[in-house]
């Protein structure tokens, strides 16, 4: 059993992010969303702009920081190795939005999900590149994060601090 809530009850654990007119509640964002930097240089996966920090829920920060530390050590603290793995390519953190092709909110709406290297781990791709990188998967596994790469609709770029 992980330290994280089942994704059906994330409101109880992370709070309710819903505001008015399809927007997140600004007070909830202010109270719950924090910034976390990676030990390596991070850029946006879509246009390679420098990212100074990921925005996530405060309850995930310590755990995700440990995940990043484990990955950084596993790489030999090598930016080149991180780049080979695709962990330098940030593809999403806190983002208030619906699930792809769905009507429910994405786990990103609670700030408890992160995406990396979307080009090589696309939504629906049953052979995501992260399947070949146990160093990254094991670091998230050790903290109880769930990987989307083995789902019926694979989402190999995605990890979440919520059980399914
Ligand atoms: Zn995601």
**What is the tens place of the pLDDT at every residue in 102-151?**
778 999 999 999 999 999 999 999 999 999 999 999 999 999 999 999 99
Q: Cα of 27 to ligand 1 centre, how many Å?
A: 23
Q: Does residue 102 lie in a domain region? A: yes
Whole-model pTM?
0.95
Q: Does residue 1 lie in a domain region? A: no
**Whole-angstrom distance, CA of residue 101 vs CA of residue 61:** 28
Query: In Å, how far are 38, 55, 132, 155 from 52, measured between CA atoms?
Result: 8, 10, 27, 25
Q: Cα of 153 to ligand 1 centre, how many Å?
A: 12
Q: Cα of 159 to ligand 1 centre, how many Å?
A: 7
Q: Cα of 157 to ligand 1 centre, how many Å?
A: 6
Q: Does residue 57 lie in a domain region? A: yes
Q: Cα of 78 to ligand 1 centre, how many Å?
A: 25
The count of structural domains within the chain is 1
The answer to whether the CB of 135 falls within 8 A of the CB of 74 is yes
Residues 6+ positions from 106 with CB-CB distance below 8 Å: 95, 97, 98, 99, 100, 113
Q: Cα of 92 to ligand 1 centre, how many Å?
A: 7
The answer to whether residue 1 scores a pLDDT higher than 70 is no
Q: Does residue 17 lie in a domain region? A: yes
Q: Does residue 31 lie in a domain region? A: yes
Q: Does residue 2 lie in a domain region? A: no
Q: Which residues have a beta carbon within 5 Å of ligand 1, which is an ion? A: 113, 115, 158
Q: What is the pLDDT of residue 21?
A: 85
Bridge partners, 115 (sequence order): 92, 158
Q: Does residue 116 lie in a domain region? A: yes
Q: Does residue 13 lie in a domain region? A: yes
Which has more confidence, 62 or 21? 62
Which own/partner contact pairs does 18-22 have at CB distance under 8 Å and 24+ positions apart?
18/105
Domain that holds residue 39: 7-160
């Amino acid at each position: 059993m992980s330290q994280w809530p089942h994704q059906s009850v994330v409101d109880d654990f992370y709070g309710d992010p819903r505001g008015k007119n399809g927007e997140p509640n600004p007070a909830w964002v202010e109270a719950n969303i924090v910034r976390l930097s990676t030990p390596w240089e991070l850029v946006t996966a879509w246009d390679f702009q420098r990212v100074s920090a990921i925005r996530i829920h405060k309850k995930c920060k310590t755990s995700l920081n440990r995940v990043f530390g484990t990955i950084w050590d596993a790489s030999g603290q090598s930016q080149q190795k991180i780049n080979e793995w695709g962990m330098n390519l940030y593809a999403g953190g806190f983002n208030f939005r619906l699930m792809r092709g769905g009507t429910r909110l994405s786990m990103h709406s609670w700030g408890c999900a992160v995406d990396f290297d979307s080009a090589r781990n696309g939504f629906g791709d049953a052979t995501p590149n992260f399947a070949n990188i146990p160093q990254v998967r094991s670091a998230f596994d050790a903290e109880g994060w769930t990987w989307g790469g083995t789902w019926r609709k694979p989402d190999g770029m995605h990890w979440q601090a919520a059980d399914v």
